[in-house]
Structure 1
Amino acid sequence: MSSSPIEILLPHRPADLPLRATVTEGEQRSLFVALAAVPDPRDPRGRRYPLVSVLAVAVCAVLAGACTFAAISDWVRDLDRPAWERLGFGDRVPAATTVWRLLVRIDAEVLSQVLARWLRVRAVPVMPGRRWRLVIAVDGKVERGARLPGGRQVHLLSAYDVSTGIVLAQV
């Protein structure tokens, strides 16, 4: 019996879900090209892993359900060696602390803009009939427990494209 939960759950998935399309080489490269626009905050002398590779791993792991730095690291470790090579790693992959140290130093606003642009290009809006409207939902929240240096609370405002499910902007 396989230890992979994917192989166990796959036969039991709902019948109405569409089959997952395979990712083409061009689509894989488009993520790398998009992530190349994010500036690297590291000193050039201490780089062991390409920034684009670590960011691509983080994006793919989060899309697969990872919600911690350790889960991102576990996700990449579970891949086979040919997948490591396609991602730009050699015989080693970054540890969870390496992923954490890099991701906390990345400019979050730039990364958010790059990923939103990449998703908008890939996503096809659902057009149920001849008439189609772009519907953008705007939602705001106050972050509980987070304070700015002046003592004010942190407010979060997001714009969300309803037809594609993409967060267009967040401040």
Structure 2
Amino acid sequence: MPSKALFSKFSTLTDPRDPKKTTHILAEIMFISVCAILCGADDWNAIRLFAKTKERWFRQHLTLPGGIPVAITFNRVFAAIDPDEFRQIFIQWIRDVLSGLQLSDSRIVAIDGKTIKGSAWNKGKDAIHMVNAWCTKAGLSLGQYKVDAKSNEITAIPELLKLLELAGSLVTIDAMGCQKKIATAILKKEADYLLAVKGNQKKLYGELTRAFEQLWQENPEDGPCPEFAEQEGKSHGRREHRRCWVINDIAEGSNASGWQAKTIAAVQLDSQKKGKGSTLIRCNCSAPPHKSGIF
């Protein structure tokens, strides 16, 4: 049976329904739903349509005692199950999938927040905001965590990190996640971090900008600077030129060393589109004591 691991994991999911009033097997509903979503279904009707279209294939591997569930059944079941339990099962399955792939030690996991489109359809309700962990090497999401209405990404990211297997990975996060607590949590997972640094961390940001201003004064030409790289390319109709400077010798007692950072970097992005140009400089700090291979 294809994806036996996925089906067997969903077999452990607690069924909140009254067994006397159920026709469909919970694990089969979950299995059908995940297959449909992976193939692009984005609502209950689309899941139902996918299942009906592939019914012959599903009947080869599932019992389907009540046939293909209707859309409202998928809706009601997902509304009834424990979302935390579902998330843990799904993330464990993703771990198993990744363990079977020959991923290099330089696996990059990008963590960022996103708002679910159309989730604020009910008047007076805020849109659902999620923190997502994306494995760039495998091209799939490792897990998501809903940001509580009374909270923000800063509190949601540590909760997501607890669920992930990150050893040997490089975790990248934008400036919102540039927090000592988050950096420490990543290191405890035997992973490396690359954090964007902006004004929300004034002391660290000031230290980084001063360090690179001094580097540029001492090296007015890019060539003599040993830790320098550049590249050109096109993206979204723009011509881009990136330059990156890296400083590895972090002084003891500095702000960066207090973050357990081993490397700081500055990336300058020059872009041009339709005759108009712009320049953006980003600062980053990184702690690569493990095997992610960064810099």
Report the CA distance shift for 1:166/1:116 in structure 2 as closer, same or farther (over 3 A): farther
One-letter identity of the residue aligned with 2:68: V
Partner Cα distance (2:71, 2:47) in 1 = 7
Residue identity over aligned pairs, in percent, reads 27
Q: Which moved more, 1:43-52 or 1:112-121?
A: 112-121
Task: Classify 1:165/1:117 alpha carbon distance in 2 versus 1 (closer, same or farther; 3 Å).
Answer: farther
Larger of the two Rg values belongs to structure: 2
Could you tell me which runs of 5 or more consecutive residues in structure 2 were left unpaired when the two chains were aligned: 146-295
List aligned pairs for 1:116-131, cutoff 5 A: 116-123=91-98, 124-127=101-104
Corresponding position: 1:134 with 2:114: no
Return the match for 1:170 from 125, 138, 144: 144
Match of 2:50 among 72, 75, 81: 75
- Kindly tell me: are residues 154 and 89 of structure 1, through their superposed partners in 2, closer, same or farther at Cα, counting changes over 3 Å? closer
Structure scoring higher RCO (CA < 8 A, sep ≥ 6) equals 1
CA-to-partner distance for each residue in 1:72-100, whole Å, 9 max, x for gaps? 11111123446325222036221111111
The aligned counterpart of 2:15 is 40
More helix by share: 1
- TM-score, reference length from structure 2: 0.41
Greater strand content: 2
The 3-state SS of whatever aligns with 1:156 is strand
Instruction: Please give the secondary structure, in 2, of the residue aligned with 1:104.
Output: helix
Distance 1:66 1:82, change over 3 A: closer
What is the rounded CA distance, in whole Å, between the counterparts of 1:141 and 1:96 in structure 2?
26
2:110 is paired with a residue of what secondary structure? strand
Aligned to 1:112: 87
**In 2, Cα distance between equivalents of 1:61 and 1:53:** 12
Q: How is 1:23-34 mapped onto 2 (pairs within 5 angstroms)?
A: 25=1, 27-34=2-9
TM-aligned CA deviation for residue 142 of structure 1: 5.4
Distance 1:113 1:31 in 2: 12
Tell me how far 1:164 sits from its aligned partner. 1.8
Q: Is the 8 A contact 2:36 2:51 kept in 1?
A: yes
Task: Name the stretch that deviates more: 80-89 or 65-74.
Answer: 80-89
How many positions carry a matched residue from both structures?
138
The CA deviation string for residues 49-78 of structure 1, in whole angstroms up to 9 with x for no partner, is 100000000001111111110111111112
Q: Match of 2:63?
A: 88
Corresponding residue for residue 54 of structure 1: 29
Partners of 2:65 and 2:53 in 1: CA distance: 15
The change in CA–CA distance for 1:142 and 1:79 in structure 2 (over 3 A counts) is: closer
How far 1:122 moved relative to its partner?
1.6
Counterpart secondary structure, 1:160: strand
Residue number in structure 1 paired with 2:132? 158
Separation in 2, partners of 1:153, 1:62: 21
How far apart, in 1, do the equivalents of 2:38 and 2:133 lie?
20
Q: TM-score, normalised by structure 1?
A: 0.68
Aligned-residue offset at 1:169: 3.2
Q: Secondary structure of the residue that 2:80 maps to in structure 1?
A: coil
RMSD (Å) for aligned C-alpha atoms: 2.6
Contact 1:84 1:90 in 2 (8 A): no
Q: Cα distance, 1:125 vs. partner?
A: 4.6
